[in-house]
């Protein structure tokens, strides 16, 4: 069936979001970042918020998201994205303001800013990429690294007595009075991508309704940091990370209402 025949039958044809710039992404092959960037662009475009969306990207693998999505972006110091987003949202409350942060950034260096911004109900959305490792700087152990997981700084595996336990940021966020929507998703299959896109849009919509802050966590792969081929990294994530970081909505004030 040709494209023209599909169009005549009224079937929707996939097209790239107009908010995605025609730049080659720097992410490693098999990385989850590229898919998540695409989802963010699609949701913002579908909401008609391209002119009123502001992203904040700090240090990390996702720092160059501003090169790929054609909206306003503000750089932030390592771990300080939520604080910067708070300022932007307070100055421009009618704008869609979100951060794009890795686990070392949001759950390690910026834990203070993350938790307090969420707890204040600032109306921002924190997009949190959890791949259980510091991907950009050499594969060091992150706050989210699993028990027994080997990294460049835990070559014998993470040990509770030495390193403590993996941090469950979404569970912490769900307990805060200022959060309105907290969810954990992934993008390793088409079904997962579809669910993640719906969750992302819900978070953006709730933030614009001034109901509180939102956290969208993406359990993700880092095949280079994990030293695995992309397909094997996806399987490892499903077998190991989904057990400790179960997917789904953790808090939704709209359902309670």
Which of 58, 78, 57, 76 shows the shortest CA–CA distance to 66?
Answer: 57
| pLDDT of 4 | 58
pLDDT tens readout for residues 243-252: 999 999 999 9
Cα 126 from chain centre: 7
pLDDT tens readout for residues 149-200: 999 899 999 999 999 999 999 999 999 999 999 999 999 999 999 999 999 9
Cβ atoms 243, 234 nearer than 8 A? no
Which residue bears the tokens 């079937």? 11
- Is residue 96 helix, strand or coil? strand
- Is the pTM higher than 0.85? yes
Mean pLDDT of the chain: 93
Cα 36 from chain centre: 7
| pLDDT of 137 | 80
Q: Give the separation between CA 27 and CA 137, rounded to whole angstroms.
A: 14
At residue 235's C-alpha, the angle toward residues 216 and 246, to 5°, is 35
| pLDDT of 129 | 96
Find the helix or strand (DSSP H, E) in which 39 lies.
helix 33-46
Sheet of 179-185, strands arranged across: 72-75, 53-57, 96-102, 125-130, 213-219, 179-185, 248-252
Q: At what angle do helices 81-91 and 111-119 cross, to 10 degrees?
A: 30
Q: Give the separation between CA 106 and CA 115, rounded to whole angstroms.
A: 9
Which of 168, 170, 77 shows the shortest CA–CA distance to 118?
Answer: 170
Q: Please report the DSSP string for 135-200 in residue order.
A: TTTTSB--TTPPTT--BTTBTT---HHHH-----HHHHHHTSTTEEEEEEE--SSHHHHHHHHHHH
Domains of the chain: 27-131+138-256 (3.40.50.970)
Report in angstroms the alpha-carbon separations of 224 from 35, 111, 195. 17, 25, 26
Q: Provide the CB-side half-sphere exposure for 172 (13 A, CA).
A: 16
Q: Tokens at residue 113, please?
A: 């800013």
Q: Answer yes or no: is pLDDT of 5 > 70.
A: no
- Is residue 75 helix, strand or coil? strand
Q: Tokens at residue 103, please?
A: 């686990």
- Count other C-beta atoms under 10 Å from residue 191's C-beta: 8
Which is more confident, 191 or 60? 191
Q: How confident is the model at residue 7 (pLDDT cuts 50, 70, 90)?
A: low
């Amino acid at each position: 069936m040709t494209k023209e025949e599909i169009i005549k039958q009224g079937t929707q044809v996939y097209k790239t979001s107009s908010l995605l710039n025609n730049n080659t992404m720097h992410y490693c092959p098999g990385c989850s970042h590229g898919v998540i960037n695409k989802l963010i662009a699609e949701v913002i475009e579908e909401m008609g918020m391209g002119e009123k969306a502001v992203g904040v990207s700090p240090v990390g693998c996702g720092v160059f998201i501003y090169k790929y999505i054609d909206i306003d972006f503000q750089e932030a110091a390592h771990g300080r994205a939520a604080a910067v987003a708070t300022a932007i949202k307070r100055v421009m409350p009618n704008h869609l303001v979100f951060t794009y942060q890795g686990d070392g950034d949001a759950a390690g260096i910026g834990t203070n800013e993350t938790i307090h911004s969420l707890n204040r109900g600032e109306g921002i959305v924190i997009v949190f990429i959890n791949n259980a490792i510091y991907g950009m700087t050499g594969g060091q152990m992150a706050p989210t690294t699993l028990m027994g997981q080997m990294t460049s700084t835990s070559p014998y595996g993470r040990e509770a007595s030495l390193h403590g336990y993996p941090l469950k940021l979404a569970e912490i966020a769900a307990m805060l009075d200022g959060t309105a929507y907290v969810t954990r998703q992934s993008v390793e299959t088409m079904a997962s991508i579809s669910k993640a896109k719906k969750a992302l849009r819900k978070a953006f919509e709730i933030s614009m309704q001034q109901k509180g802050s939102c956290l969208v966590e993406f359990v993700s792969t880092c095949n280079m940091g994990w030293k695995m081929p992309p397909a094997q990294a996806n399987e490892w994530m499903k077998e190991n990370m989904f057990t400790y970081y179960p997917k789904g909505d953790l808090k939704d004030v709209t359902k309670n209402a």
